[in-house]
Amino acid sequence: MSEPLTLAEKLWNDHVVVKGENGAPDLLYIDLHLIHEVTSPQAFDGLRLANRDVRRKDLTIATEDHNTPTIDIHLPIAEPTSRTQVQALRDNTKEFGVRIHSLGDKNQGIVHVVGPQLGLTMPGLTIVCGDSHTSTHGAFGALAMGIGTSEVEHVLATQTLPLKPFKTMAINVEGTLRPGVTAKDIILAVIAKISTGGGQGYVLEYRGSAIRALSMEGRMTICNMSIEAGARAGMVAPDEITFEYLKGRPHAPEGAEWDKAMEYWKTLKTDDDAKFDAEVFIDANTLDPFVTWGTNPGQGVSLLDSVPDPASMTDPAERAAAERALEYMDLQPGTKMKDIAVNTVFLGSCTNARIEDLRAAASIIQGRKKAEGVRMMVVPGSQKVRLQAEEEGLDKIFKEFGAEWRFAGCSMCLGMNPDQLGPGERAASTSNRNFEGRQGKGARTHLVSPLVAAATAIRGTLSSPSDVGL
C-alpha cells in the first residue's frame, strides 16, 4: 500500500515534472493558464525581449475584466491606463496566437467565472492566473493558484512553474445550514475564526456534510476567499455535483474521454487515514448570516451581533487593528450590525456573481421596493451569466426594483474601472475584500452574501433575509 495522501498532495505529485533536490522547488506542470489585462502586459513583453514564444497556446486563454466598463461598452475605454492595458492584451494575444474573449463577446467576463463556464476548469488540473482569486477554481478539485507577473511569463514560456511545497489544512464544516445562510456566510465565519493570516503556507481542503451539500457556485464562493485567509489555494474534492455541473459544457470531455476522466476523478479525494498538518471545525447548524464590520475579511461577526469593542480584545495587535478599522469605518462599538445604514449595494465579483447568486438575490427582491436613497448595482460575472439572467427574466426583476443592470466585469469589486464608491460612502458588497479604499478612496465596505445584499437593499440597513420575511 502506498502512503495515504491528501487530495492536494495527490494533485501535486501528479504534476511534478522535475523533483527539486536539496531544498530546490519542484517543477510542476500547469494544465490551464488564465490571463487578463492587468498582470500580463509585462509578461508578454518579457517573451518578446527574450525572443520566446508561448509554449502552449492551447492551454492558455485570456479575457478582459479588471478594467472594463460595465455601461456603454461600445464606446472606447475612457481611462487611459485601462485603455492601454486592454489594448495591450488584445495586441499581445493576437501576436502570440492566444485565444481571447473581449468586451462584447459572450464569453467575456471575470476570468474566474469564464473558466468554469466554458468547462475548462475541471477536477485534477493545475490552474494558474495572475490574480489571487484563482483559488476559486479549486472548487472543482483542481490545484489553482494566483501568481505574479514574472511567473505569468514563466508559465507562458515553459508551461511549468517551480513551486515550494505547502502544508495542508482541513476545514471541516458539518451540519445543515439554516434558511437564509449560504456559502458566503460559511467562508466569512471560517476567516473570522482562523484570521486573515491563519491559512498562510497552507492549501485548504473544505470538507464535511455542509460542503458536500453545496452547489458548485457555493463551493466556488468558498474557495474564492481562501486567499483572504492567507492560503495558497483552497479546494473541494469532486463528486456527483461537480460531474453534473461539468457534463455537456463546451470543453468538457465527451464519450470515451469522459469515461477515462471519470476514472481518474473518482480517485481525487483525501485518503481515509491521510494526515492534515492542521484541522479546523465549523458547526454549520448554528451559523447565522455573517457580515464584516472592519477593513479586512477576518473582521466579521454574525449579523445578529453588534460591532465589537476593541477594548475587549486581548491581543494588542488585534486591538490596534480593530481601533483603526472602526475609525476608518466610522463605527461605534456596540452598534447593532442591523442598524448600520448603507448608500450602495453591490451584487457582483468573482465571489458572488454567478447565475445562482443572481437568482438568489432576485428571489428576495421580487415584488418589493428598494429603500429610498440606496443605490443597487448588479454586475453579472460574465456576459453569458448576463444573457442567461435575461433569458430567465431576472434583469426585469432587478430593474423594476430600481437596481442598475450592468455588463460583466470586476467593476466595483476593486474600482479599477469607473464603478467606484465616493469618500465616506458605505456599501454592502458581495465581493471579497473590504480593504481601505478598495472600492474607492475613503469608501467603506461590508462584505455580505447575495441574500443579505438583497435584504439590505430593501431595508437600507444591513439586513438578513428573515428580516424581509424569508
Partner 1 sequence: MERISVFSGIGAPLRRSNVDTDQIIPAVYLKRITKTGFEDGLFAHWRNDEDFVLNQAPYKNAQILIAGSDFGTGSSREHAVWALRDYGFRAVFSSKFADIFRGNSGKQGLIAGVISESDTELLWQAMEANPGMELQVDLPAQEVRFSDTVVPFEIDEYTKWRLMEGLDDIGITLQNEAAIAAYEARRESWRPTTLPAKGV
Residues near partner 1 (CB under 8 A): 17-18, 27, 29, 31-32, 41-42, 45-46, 49-50, 52, 57-61, 81, 84-85, 88, 99, 105-107, 118-120, 122, 124-125, 149-150, 153-154, 157-160, 162, 249-253, 257-258, 260-261, 264
User: What is the size of the binding site for ligand SF4 (CB under 6 A)?
Assistant: 13
Ramachandran angles phi, psi of 46, nearest 5°: -60, -40
Q: How near is the Cβ of 66 to ligand SF4 at its closest, in Å? A: 6
Query: Would you list the DSSP string of 236-300?
Result: ----HHHHHHHTTSTTS--HHHHHHHHHHHTT-S--TT---SEEEEEEGGG---EEE-SSSTT-E
Asked whether the beta carbons of 265 and 124 are under 8 A apart, the reply is: yes
Q: How near is the Cβ of 415 to partner 1 at its closest, in Å? A: 16
- What are the beta bridge partners of residue 300? 292
User: With b meaning 16 or more CB within 10 Å and e meaning fewer, what string describes 229-246?
Assistant: bbbbbbbbbbbebbbebb
Q: Which of 125, 156, 236, 414 binds ligand SF4 (CB under 6 A)?
A: 414
Is the C-alpha dihedral spanning 320, 323, 327, 328 positive or negative? positive
Read off the C-alpha cell for 145: 493558484
| 432 in contact with ligand SF4 (CB under 6 A) | yes
Q: Are strands 26-29 and 160-163 parallel, antiparallel or unpaired?
A: antiparallel
Q: How near is the Cβ of 43 to partner 1 at its closest, in Å? A: 8
| 377 in contact with ligand SF4 (CB under 6 A) | no
Q: Are strands 444-447 and 426-429 parallel, antiparallel or unpaired?
A: parallel
Ramachandran angles phi, psi of 48, nearest 5°: -60, -45
For the CA atoms of 328, 334, 336, 342, the dihedral, rounded to the nearest 10 degrees, stands at -20
Q: Which of 349, 352, 383, 429 binds ligand SF4 (CB under 6 A)?
A: 349
| 307 in contact with ligand SF4 (CB under 6 A) | no
| 34 in contact with ligand SF4 (CB under 6 A) | no
Closer to partner 1 by CB, 84 or 366: give it. 84
Rounded CA gap, 316 and 97, in Å? 54
Closer to partner 1 by CB, 94 or 260: give it. 260
Closer to partner 1 by CB, 158 or 343: give it. 158
Q: How near is the Cβ of 14 to partner 1 at its closest, in Å? A: 10
Rule CB under 6 A: which of 128-147 touch ligand SF4?
Answer: 131, 133
Q: Are strands 375-378 and 404-405 parallel, antiparallel or unpaired?
A: parallel
Q: How near is the Cβ of 418 to partner 1 at its closest, in Å? A: 17
Q: In the stretch 76-115, what mask flags binding to ligand SF4 with x, by CB under 6 A?
A: ----------------------------------x-x---
Q: How near is the Cβ of 207 to partner 1 at its closest, in Å? A: 25
Q: How near is the Cβ of 336 to partner 1 at its closest, in Å? A: 40
Closest CA to 130 of 201, 217, 41, 219: 41
| 410 in contact with ligand SF4 (CB under 6 A) | yes
119 interface partner picked from partner 1, ligand SF4, none, CB below 5 to 8 A per type: partner 1
The residue range among 51-59, 69-77, 116-124, 409-417 that interacts with ligand SF4, by the rule CB under 6 A, is: 409-417
What contacts 87, CB < 8 A, 6 or more positions away?
none
Asked whether the beta carbons of 319 and 192 are under 8 A apart, the reply is: no
Q: How near is the Cβ of 109 to ligand SF4 at its closest, in Å? A: 10
| 261 in contact with ligand SF4 (CB under 6 A) | no
Closer to partner 1 by CB, 32 or 355: give it. 32
Rounded CA gap, 393 and 249, in Å? 23
Read off the C-alpha cell for 298: 477576518
Q: How near is the Cβ of 235 to ligand SF4 at its closest, in Å? A: 18
369 alpha-carbon distance from chain centroid:
29
Q: Which residues bind ligand SF4 (CB under 6 A)?
A: 65-66, 110, 112, 131, 133, 349-350, 410, 413-414, 431-432
